[in-house]
């Protein structure tokens, strides 16, 4: 893929590019906790977005995306949000230039194999690889954390999704063979070895694009904020649901709207699950960790209500397959992928059972990805542009 994008760039623009890649991510546990200042446990995987890039003299962004076979041109002094994938590139340029960083005209080709709409954060991977490439091309001096925060700002203000920091952080900070325990309030993080060579992380794509997720995602965030507003009247020190203990939440149940209580109960429970899960991984107890994943899915489906019948079916079916330790919906919800921990010697059986069962359930053949945990954003190959 890297060789192809270099050749294509040379043919399209007549020069050699710098090529950067940034991966999609999985999140083992800790869903919807990031924008509640809680904990998450992501890892970068071996599905990437790439940006091939070289400077031009036109003071414009000239960009072509292979996935969409679309080409656009944007003047750098007239940047504003637009519909579709280019808004992520424009947002990164806008917010980097807002820091008075010297970004000139560029020619770009975007390509990659992070599944779109599957909950693996293709948009974060796009922002991250593009920002990483800009940083290298123009020697901007931005840290990986700087680029992650710029990507989050782009999601908020150019794409209209009030996401947390997890996706961008994992795409830029991933480390092969490790998951990342990230405190989304302090942004302190710890690499935790995920050393289970007999097991694989397998994603099953429901083939349901989570089109509802953006609107419902923002509604869930508002519901969490509503809960915090009520809890602050009881204890002004509470800043987010991260600060709420289960005992405090249960004591305040009568003061909360019933739906808001269920949303809050999931978030408080999920933070507790994640901390327990990190301890289990450190002890080498992958089976116990998998059981927590099933608990998370139950909460996502019944309390946070961001699952869908297809995801519920896949998790229920996975539970019946020997050698599957855990399964749950992953990502914002309403489709996308389920994440499964599967013993390596039953991966083929898992693929066959899941594929056949899902076809019978809804008439669709799911895409199944057997992944490895890899490094985060990086330059590829010889970048003698």
The tens digit of pLDDT for each residue in 288-332 reads 999 999 999 999 999 999 999 999 999 999 999 999 999 999 987
Contacts of 186 (CB under 8 A, 6+ apart): none
Place of tokens 């066959």: 352
Tell me: pLDDT of 384 over 70: no
- For 55-80, the pLDDT digits (tens) are 999 999 999 999 999 999 999 999 99
> Closest Cα to residue 36, out of 166, 174, 184, 256?
184
pLDDT of residue 181: 97
Which pLDDT score is estimated for 32? 92
Q: How far apart are CA 215 and CA 163, in angstroms?
A: 12
Buried residues in 264-275 as b, exposed as e (16+ CB within 10 A): bbbbbbbbebbe
Q: Tell me the two tokens of residue 247.
A: 């005992």
Is 0.75 surpassed by the pTM of this model?
yes
**Which amino acids are annotated catalytic?**
167
- For the chain, the average pLDDT equals 93
Q: What is the pLDDT of residue 218?
A: 84
Instruction: Report d(CA 120, CA 331) in Å as an integer.
Output: 7
Residue-wise DSSP of 121-190: -HHHHHHHHHHHHHHHHTT----HHHHHHHHHHHIIIII-----SHHHHHHHH--TTEEEEEETTT--EE
Segment 359-369, tens digit of pLDDT: 999 999 999 99
CATH of domain 2-194+374-379: 3.30.230.10
Helix (H, G, I), strand (E, B), or coil: what is residue 192? strand
* 125-144 mean pLDDT: 97
* Inter-residue contact 246 to 273 (CB < 8 Å): no
Query: Which residue ranges make up each domain of the chain?
Result: 2-194+374-379
Which residues on neighbouring strands pair with residue 60, listed in sequence order? 75
Q: Is the pLDDT of residue 163 over 90?
A: no
- What is the pairing mode between strands 178-183 and 39-40? antiparallel
């Amino acid at each position: 893929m890297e060789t192809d994008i270099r050749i294509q760039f040379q043919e399209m623009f007549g020069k050699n590019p710098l090529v950067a890649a940034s991966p999609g991510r999985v999140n083992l546990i800790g869903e919807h906790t990031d924008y509640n200042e809680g904990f998450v446990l992501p890892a970068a995987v071996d599905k990437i977005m790439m940006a091939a890039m070289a400077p031009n003299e036109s003071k414009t962004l000239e960009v072509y995306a292979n996935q969409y076979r679309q080409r656009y041109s944007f003047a750098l002094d007239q940047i504003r949000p637009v519909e579709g994938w280019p808004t992520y590139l424009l947002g990164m340029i806008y917010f980097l230039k807002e820091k008075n960083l010297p970004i000139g005209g560029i020619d770009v080709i975007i390509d990659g194999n992070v599944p779109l709409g599957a909950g693996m954060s293709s948009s974060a991977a796009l922002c991250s690889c593009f920002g990483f490439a800009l940083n290298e091309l123009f020697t901007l001096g931005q840290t990986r954390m700087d680029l992650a925060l710029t990507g989050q700002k782009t999601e908020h203000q150019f794409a209209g999704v009030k996401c947390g920091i997890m996706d961008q952080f994992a795409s830029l900070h991933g480390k092969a063979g490790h998951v990342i325990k990230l405190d989304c309030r302090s942004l302190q993080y710890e690499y935790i070895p995920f050393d289970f060579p007999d097991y694989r992380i397998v994603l099953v794509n429901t083939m349901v694009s989570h089109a509802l997720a953006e609107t419902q995602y923002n509604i869930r965030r508002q519901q969490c904020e509503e809960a915090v507003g009520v809890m602050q009247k009881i204890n002004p020190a509470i800043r987010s649901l991260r600060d709420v203990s289960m005992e405090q939440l249960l004591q305040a149940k009568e003061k909360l709207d019933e739906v808001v209580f269920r949303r809050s109960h999931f978030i408080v429970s999920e933070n507790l699950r994640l901390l327990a899960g990190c301890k289990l991984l450190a002890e080498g107890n992958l089976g116990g960790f998998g059981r927590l994943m099933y608990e998370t899915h139950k909460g996502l489906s019944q309390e946070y209500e961001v699952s869908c019948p297809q995801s519920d079916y896949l998790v229920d079916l996975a539970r019946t397959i020997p050698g599957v330790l855990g399964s749950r919906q992953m990502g914002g919800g309403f489709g996308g992928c389920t994440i499964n921990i599967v013993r390596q010697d039953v991966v083929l059986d898992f693929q066959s059972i899941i594929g056949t069962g899902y076809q019978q359930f809804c008439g669709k053949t799911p895409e199944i990805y057997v992944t490895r945990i890899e490094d985060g954003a990086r330059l590829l190959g010889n970048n003698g542009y």
